[in-house]
């Protein structure tokens, strides 16, 4: 179950790969990947306008022609930012309708606030929404969209200043789903702009107590938890720093005879409180690798403990 919402597959197909955020693909290959995902038992697609300027949503529209297969659901998102309170509702409604038009659907199953929650108005920006604006304008607008039947539920991106995220999770009405960092480094990578520790496991645990569904993101650390980063990045980038920290994970993967990415996905599938993990694949080959990792099952507790002792304590 995704919280209190509905049954969900352990793997969710994310829109980042479909929208070419994680490297080039083609519309034809992306559509084929979506269809193979459904045939393989995946029942949730996680999308957003920002994934290829709407490309991931267009892929869904082309793949299914406006009629999702039985049991298949979709999410989408809106990056609200920090506008005047009176502009919030219209911004959410326009973004949702544009997403639905691209997907050729009448409603979305979950609509997420896409971006970071921050404590003060002065911290707001294009990717950052102040908590007061969320309470006064964003949350009421999301509740109205749900009451109208245009969305089935709403949620937040639970990446950002942990104190703010936890406070919002503790309020009523609480988000019905969250997206949160789920990897062996507990690292948001380049998404970390705040000074506090990210504390994703604390957020996951509290979300569960509140009945929210938990979708794990950054399972492979945007490439840091793989055998080799597949794109050019500066040596000082957060992803490359994470890649160096993850050297013990690569060593263990070689000992176990599997890829580092496979081990990273199995680790995430073993984390308590996580309902589904979001894949960043962009083609059928990468999808099949993730399906193979899932088929091998969660990691034994002793392997998880070994990874935690070697990876979580690795110096930054």
The string of pLDDT tens digits covering residues 8-48 is 999 999 999 999 887 889 999 999 999 999 999 999 999 99
Helix, strand, coil abundance in the chain, percent, nearest 5: 45, 15, 40
Give the tokens for residue 226: 């793989």
- Say what the pLDDT of residue 125 is: 80
For 240-251, what is the mean pLDDT?
Answer: 95
305 burial level (CB within 10 Å; 0-12, 13-18, 19+): exposed
Q: What percent of the chain has pLDDT over 90?
A: 89
Which secondary-structure segment (H or E) carries 109?
A: strand 108-113
> How many other CB atoms sit within 10 Å of the CB of residue 7?
11
- Say what the pLDDT of residue 193 is: 86
What is residue 171's three-state secondary structure?
Answer: coil
**CATH class for domain 11-312?**
alpha beta
Q: What percent of the chain has pLDDT over 70?
A: 98
With the CA atoms of 10, 12, 91 and 138 taken in that order, what torsion angle do they form, in degrees rounded to the nearest 10?
20
Give the model's confidence band at 55: pLDDT under 50 very low, under 70 low, under 90 confident, else very high.
Answer: very high
Give the model's confidence band at 314: pLDDT under 50 very low, under 70 low, under 90 confident, else very high.
Answer: low
Residue 284: phi and psi, rounded to 5, are: -65, -35
Give the tokens for residue 261: 């990415």
Residue 49: phi and psi, rounded to 5, are: -60, -30
> Does 174 score more than 70 pLDDT?
yes
Q: Rounded to an integer, what distance in angstroms lies between the CA atom of residue 14 and that of residue 188?
A: 17
Q: Rounded to an integer, what distance in angstroms lies between the CA atom of residue 144 and that of residue 150?
A: 9
What is residue 156's three-state secondary structure?
Answer: strand
For 209-226, what is the mean pLDDT?
Answer: 96
Give the model's confidence band at 316: pLDDT under 50 very low, under 70 low, under 90 confident, else very high.
Answer: low
The alpha-carbon radius of gyration of the chain (Å, integer) is 19
For 99-104, what is the mean pLDDT?
Answer: 98
Give the tokens for residue 232: 């050019």
| Contacts for 264 with CB less than 8 Å, ≥ 6 apart | 183, 184, 219, 220, 221, 225, 226, 249
- Say what the pLDDT of residue 160 is: 85
Length of the chain, in residues: 316
For 277-302, what is the mean pLDDT?
Answer: 96
Q: Rounded to an integer, what distance in angstroms lies between the CA atom of residue 14 and that of residue 131?
A: 27
Q: Rounded to an integer, what distance in angstroms lies between the CA atom of residue 118 and that of residue 186?
A: 20
Mean pLDDT lowest for which of 115-124, 210-219, 269-278? 115-124
For 166-189, what is the mean pLDDT?
Answer: 97
For 230-245, what is the mean pLDDT?
Answer: 91
What is residue 316's three-state secondary structure?
Answer: coil
Among 134, 124, 115, which Cα is nearest to 174's?
A: 134
pLDDT averaged over every residue in the chain? 95
28 burial level (CB within 10 Å; 0-12, 13-18, 19+): exposed
- Say what the pLDDT of residue 66 is: 96
For 149-176, what is the mean pLDDT?
Answer: 97
Give the model's confidence band at 315: pLDDT under 50 very low, under 70 low, under 90 confident, else very high.
Answer: low
Give the model's confidence band at 196: pLDDT under 50 very low, under 70 low, under 90 confident, else very high.
Answer: confident
Terminal C-alpha separation, the chain: 35
Phi-psi bin for 97: left (phi > 0), alpha (psi -120 to 50), beta?
alpha
Mean pLDDT lowest for which of 121-125, 255-259, 283-287? 121-125
């Amino acid at each position: 179950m995704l919280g209190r919402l509905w049954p969900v597959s352990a793997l969710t197909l994310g829109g980042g790969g479909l929208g070419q955020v994680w490297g080039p693909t083609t519309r034809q290959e992306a559509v084929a990947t979506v269809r193979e995902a459904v045939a393989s038992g995946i029942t949730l697609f996680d999308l957003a306008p920002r994934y290829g300027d709407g490309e991931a949503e267009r892929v869904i529209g082309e793949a299914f022609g406006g009629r999702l297969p039985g049991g298949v659901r979709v999410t989408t998102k809106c990056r609200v930012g920090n506008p005047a309170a009176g502009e919030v509702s219209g911004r959410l409604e326009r973004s949702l309708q544009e997403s639905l038009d691209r997907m050729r659907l009448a409603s979305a199953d979950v609509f997420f606030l896409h971006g970071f929650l921050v404590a003060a108005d002065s911290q707001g920006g294009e990717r950052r929404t102040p908590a007061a604006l969320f309470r006064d304008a964003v949350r009421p607008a999301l509740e109205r969209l749900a009451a109208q039947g245009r969305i089935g539920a709403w949620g937040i991106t639970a990446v950002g200043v942990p104190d703010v995220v936890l406070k919002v999770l503790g309020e009523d009405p609480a988000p019905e789903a969250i997206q949160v960092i789920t990897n062996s480094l507990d690292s948001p990578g380049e998404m970390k702009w705040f000074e506090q520790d990210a504390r994703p496991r604390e957020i996951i645990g509290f979300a569960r107590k509140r009945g929210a569904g938990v979708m794990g993101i950054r399972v492979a650390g945007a490439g840091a938890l793989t055998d080799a980063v597949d794109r050019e990045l500066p040596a000082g980038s957060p992803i490359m720093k994470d890649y160096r920290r993850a050297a013990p994970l690569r060593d263990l993967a070689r000992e176990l005879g599997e890829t580092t990415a496979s081990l990273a996905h199995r680790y995430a599938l073993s984390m308590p409180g996580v309902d589904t993990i979001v894949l960043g694949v962009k083609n059928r080959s990468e999808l099949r690798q993730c399906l193979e990792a899932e088929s091998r099952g969660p990691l034994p507790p002793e392997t998880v403990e070994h990874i935690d002792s070697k990876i979580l304590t690795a110096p930054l």
